[in-house]
Amino acid sequence: MEVPQAVRRQLGLSGERSWVIVTEWNRFTWPGYDIRPVRGREPSISHGFLPSGLFRQIRDALIAAAIGRPVDRDL
């Protein structure tokens, strides 16, 4: 599911297209080994919140794609 350009801009993501993969999800111990501060927002590791409508679309798509399997990201 593509992240709309306005949301990418709001979150401070690059101008490149961004996608949420709804057929798999990550499972890892928090905080993950690869968590890094957001450049220009140190020490924050958060880009911000998704708009509620987009969050619901992603949530619903994840539920609908329950055939997906978690991807273990712990080393």
The amino acid occupying position 67 is I
The pLDDT assigned to 61 comes to 92
Q: With 80 as the cut, is the pLDDT of residue 66 above it? A: no
* pLDDT, tens digit (0-9, with 9 covering 90-100), for 13-45: 988 999 999 988 888 888 888 888 988 888 988
Domains in the chain: how many in total? Answer: 1
Name the strand (E) or helix (H) holding 71. Answer: strand 69-72
Name the strand (E) or helix (H) holding 54. Answer: helix 52-64
- Structural domain of residue 14, as residue ranges? 2-72
Backbone angles phi, psi at 58, to 5 degrees: -65, -45
Among 22-26, 52-56, 60-64, 65-69, the range with the most confident prediction by mean pLDDT is 52-56
